[in-house]
Structure 1
Amino acid sequence: MELSHNHKSRLLAYFDGQGFERWSAIYGDAEVSRIRRTIRQGHARMLALAEQWLCEALRADDRPTTNDQLSSSVLGPSSVLDAGCGTGLLSLALARRGMHVTAVDIAPQMVAAAAAALHDAG
């Protein structure tokens, strides 16, 4: 039990401090080096693919063939739990598709950033 509590404390300390700072430096809106820009672009592609897979899993048998078809293809509101949501990039993308998203994270700074992104998106 103590090991588990110690591990949770270390995770919280990292993701609410140095981890959040590192995320902001790489995935935030600030200008970045070519290498970090490549990382940012790869992360955006990975998120788009994860979003597509989830939407396809929620679809009926007539799967969409284009991104435009996929955008309107989710059958009604679906509930999604984004555990470890970080700053909410995937949560926000899924909410834009009409899904009901519950986003949780161990780090208050990450949750605050996710809430701010949701607020800014309207």
Structure 2
Amino acid sequence: MAKQWFSSKDLIKIEGLPSTPQGINRKARVEGWKSRKRSGIQGKAVEYHIDSFPDFVKSTLQVKEKSRDYKIDDLEPLQLWISAFNVLKEEQKEFIKNWLIHDGVNGLISVIEQQMISKNK
């Protein structure tokens, strides 16, 4: 079963969320995220339930969870592309859309091949 509860430290590395635990906790309070006290931790440490997060956070966490499994079927690559696109900033999404319109799939394949060649050197 996938992880359901996340600490603020788990969330600070996700693009689009605050980059400090205090910022995460403030956002959680303002948005009313479902929380609970972290077991085994003294003090005010809390963790937040995945159902409380914005969609882009859920997508990011699901992609990270799936990447640990190393099991890929026919649908997962498409879901990975969609999840990756959803975590981009709006200007990054616009760049990708325009790039694909102008350069098309052949442009994408060219970039991929260049990366593969540079990694094999």
With normalisation by structure 1, the TM-score equals 0.24
With normalisation by structure 2, the TM-score equals 0.24
